[in-house]
Each structure stands twice: as structure tokens, then as C-alpha cells.
Structure 1
Amino acid sequence: MFPVDLPALQESELLSSAEIYLSSMDGRPHHECFQSSKSSKVPIRAENVRQLQLFEDDQPPCVVLALHPPEDQTQVVALYVQDRWWPLDEVLRTSSQSRSGLVQVRSLMERVVVFLLSQVVERPLLGEISFALHPRTESCKVLWRDNQAVGFYSIKPKGSLCDGWSGSCYLLPVLDTLLVRRSCRRRGFGLQILQDFCASFSSEEFLGVTAPLSASMAAVCRRFLQQQLELRGRLYEVEAPGDWTQRRNIWLNIQLGRYSLHNRDEEETVPASTQTLTEGSSLPPQSHGAMLTAT
């Protein structure tokens, strides 16, 4: 079994486990190492372990311990979960047959999976924007394929707060962030996610996608709307909270040539943080806003 399949953890348990482990570091054997799948050993010492904040709001705090090589603190090789170190590829795997396709995120470990995909596993390319941390209550779905997490998307439901200070609420459901791992692109997963989003709100007259649309996100929307003619008048690029002055019809803007369409990867949209999963994945710099972009 993998971490996501083990008995559910509470945030307080994850934090307590991290604190106990850190407090025991001085008394642990100096020769203790983590054996990575690349046949390299990473020493487990206090200077090689860091705490990663999982959510946008750190009150109450929720952290997970990450192990990195001595020479590079931005590289993550393992996470400390359920009282042991797990390589990243195992944290993103499942043994449950029920996790297939797009599955609503409900457990803390499923939120850890979203965190890893958006913050650790997939690095932004030049010119891309990194994901900000998601709120702990963010509505998300993870895309599972062949027992591994290959992507996710998050939603701002109609009526949910746009931020923590203005009191304004979203006026329509908005697809806020979307990611497909680079190694899994061009297999129709971006189209599958768009279809799932629209089907989940079939009774809504209008649906939103967070602005600004990147070139490849616009290309995926074009491909999607070429197939789904009935959605052309319903899908809008929006800025929060999404009133009519903050909406732009995506299909109309495509026809008017207002997007620079990126055709090479148009079958898959992947947002700001992107890189094929590796054992030594890196922590990207964080942006101040999570927006849906693609490459």
C-alpha cells in the first residue's frame, strides 16, 4: 500500500509526527541514509530535512517533512509520512482500484498529492508562473491513471469567497488551476478535465476559466469547443468575481484571434508548474496567485 491508501491522517497528526521526528534528529545514527531508486544514498541529517508548508493559510500550521540532498536544498527526494520516508513516486501512487479517472479530493493525503504535483514534482519552464499554495479547503479533483496521479484541477464554486478580505464571491463556477504532468501530455487528459468540469455544472448557464489563458490552454479550449459546440456560448475567461464586465467569451476570442495558440501541445494543458516526475524533484519559487496557465 502507498501513503494515500493508508488510514486517513489528520493535520494535527502530520504536524505532530514531523515535530517528534525533528526533535529526535540529534539522537539518530549519523550513518542513516535514504536509498533512492536511482541507487544513490541521501544522508538523513537535520541539515538535509526541511518542513514544507502544505496550504496557503498556515493557521493552524500543516507541514510535511522533505528530504533533500546535501548539495541542493531545492531538490526533494522523499517525504516523511506515516512514520517513514517515502520516495516521491510512491507518494503519487495508489493500490486502490477505486482511484481511477477524476476523483474528488477528500483526504489529507490526497491534498498532499495535489501539493506535490503543483509545488514539487512539476517545475515551471522559462516564462511560466508557479502555482501559489492552495487553500486547505480548495475543491480539487485528482486524475488517476494506471495507479498513479497524472494531474489535477481545482474549482472556485459559485458563491465561494474570492479572497479573505473583500467579502466578494464568485458569480459562476470557475476552473481555477489545472495541471497534467508533462510525461502524460498529448493523451487527451486536458480535454477530459474540461469535459468533467463542464459536466459537473451542467445546470449552470455560464462557466468560467481563470484569466489569463495561456497559449496552450487557449489551444486546448479551441480543440474542446470544436467538439462541444453547445458549450461555445457558456465558457468564459473570467477575472474574479466574474461579473459581466469581467467575462470574455473564449470561443469568440479564439475566432477574433486574441489568443496566441500553441499547437504543439494543444492536446494537453498544463499550468505553471511543470516537469516530468523524477525522484529528485525540485521546489519551484512560489507566485502570489494561483492562475491557470499552460505551455
Structure 2
Amino acid sequence: MAPYDIIDPSFRSFVLPNAAIETLGTGFRWLEGPVWFADHDCLVFSDIPNDRVLRWSETGGVSVFRSPCGFENGHARDREGRLISCSHRNRCVTRTEWDGRITVLASHYQGRRLNAPNDVVVKSDGSIWFTDPLYGINTDYEGGRQVSEQRPAVYRLDPARAELEVVAGDFEGPNGLCFSPDERVLYIVETGQQFAADPVRHIRRAVLTENGTRLGATMVFHEVVPGGADGLRCDEDGNVWTSAADGVHCLNPQGALLGKIRTNTPVANLAFGGRQRSRLFLCAGQTLLGVYVNRRGAVRP
């Protein structure tokens, strides 16, 4: 039986007591960046320290999608279904074309190299939003130590015009990203400085302005305890499902904690997928987990 913590009574209808947490794969090093390919009925995700992108399907299990991969972390799909990826080692955001070619979309800002793009989301207008902290160039474990040339920031890329701009520059360690279902709000995880004794850790919320191309002032939405947040996703009702040190936490759109799915191991990232987008795939350290819930992942306009 899946271990749930019901904090708000509403969460009781979000989960399924007879739906166990299933182990879908294990023996990895550190999993991240899950994205669901409904047209191929598979999950694509990263095993960062092993420098490979993997694929999981119900019928085929785990296989290698790309290796080496430049120590890729976050992934998303663009409006044409192509894979958008964040590379630590190569310090860039790329697009995998349908014929397998890789196109570099962003590698520099104002003439200087990006740090280590971490997470990425694609808006319905085709714009690509990504975070660029220092984590991937701080150690040799997740990409290789290199010198930073930029302050950590959140970027917006207009691929049609090849224009890259900073939309938020007041983060110490911008990490996971997620749009609300109506794309009026962007949630951004702040995980702080990697080796700080007491890093700043919370989820911020920013309302989009100027026809959805800019961010208004960001405000603290929720502080995940224990361990802080990393990756996060919205369901179709606007609830935020976020990773945590003890599993997955579910927050309502006002930032109140509704309940938890306890995994007893840190979860780095998650994605909705499977039939009706009602299965949560969890990147839990060295293990890929899956659990069915009674909510569906958001499909944006």
C-alpha cells in the first residue's frame, strides 16, 4: 500500500490507497529531468553522473536513449514534440531534431557562456524558459568543474528570433520550473548555494506580464520541509506536486500543503504521464518509481 500523509481532507480524493509505489528501474546514480512522450508511450529521463539519457516504457523497461549526452539534466518537449534538453557539461540548451541531429539553441548571454542550464519548460507560444544555476559546474560528479561567467538567472528564449533574455536575476540557485495550467503563473524553485551551511530554499511564484513574456515580482509561495524542493509539476486543477527529501508534497494554488506521498528517499524530480496523465513518475536518487494518483497532469493551452 502506498504511504500517504493526509494533511488536508481534500487530499484524500487525490490518491489511491490501493495504488502501490512501484519500482520501475534501479541501479542508477542520480536521476533527473523526466518528461513523458505520450505518442511513444515512454518516459525520457537523465542519469546525470553516468552521462546518459534513458528511456522507460511499460513493455521495454529501461534502455539507453543517448550516451554520452553532455551530462544533461532537465528536459521538455516543444510545440512540435521535439526534445529540449539542458546540458551541464556543454553549458547550453539544445533541441533534438526528428532526424536525431542536435541543435544548440542557447549557449551564451551577452557574449559570456551560460553556467549549467538545469531545468526547462516550453510555453504555448513556443518560448523556452530555463534556469541557469552553478550546480553543474561546481563539481566533477554532474558535469565537470568549470569557471562561472554569469550570475545565476532564469532565462526566456524566443527560438524564432534567437533572442535570449533574463527574466529573473535575483536567485542564488534557480532550479525547477513549472507553469500553472493557464500559464498565468510561473513557479520557480530556489535551492540556494550548493555548499552553503544554511541555503535559501523555497518555491517562488511570479505572475506573467506583458502578454506572457515577462515576470512580475516574485514572492515566496511555499517552503518545502524537509530538504527543500527541486523539480515540480502542476495537475490540471492547478495543484503543485513538488519533490522533497521525504517524497512528494502536494500544494494547493494558494501554497497550502495538502498531503504527501512518502518514499523514504529523496525525490529530485517528477512528471505526470501514463494513461490519462494520471501516473506520477518519480526520479528518486538511484531509483525510478511510479505511482498512480487520482489527478491528471496539466495540459497547457
Q: Same fold (TM over 0.5)?
A: no
Q: Which category of TM-score, normalised to the shorter sequence, fits these structures?
A: under 0.3
Q: TM-score, normalised by structure 1?
A: 0.27
Q: TM-score, normalised by structure 2?
A: 0.27
Select the structure that is richer in helix. Answer: 1
Instruction: Look at both structures and tell me which one has the larger radius of gyration over its CA atoms.
Output: 1
Select the structure that is richer in strand. Answer: 2
Of structures 1 and 2, the one scoring higher in RCO (CA 8 A, sep 6+) is: 1
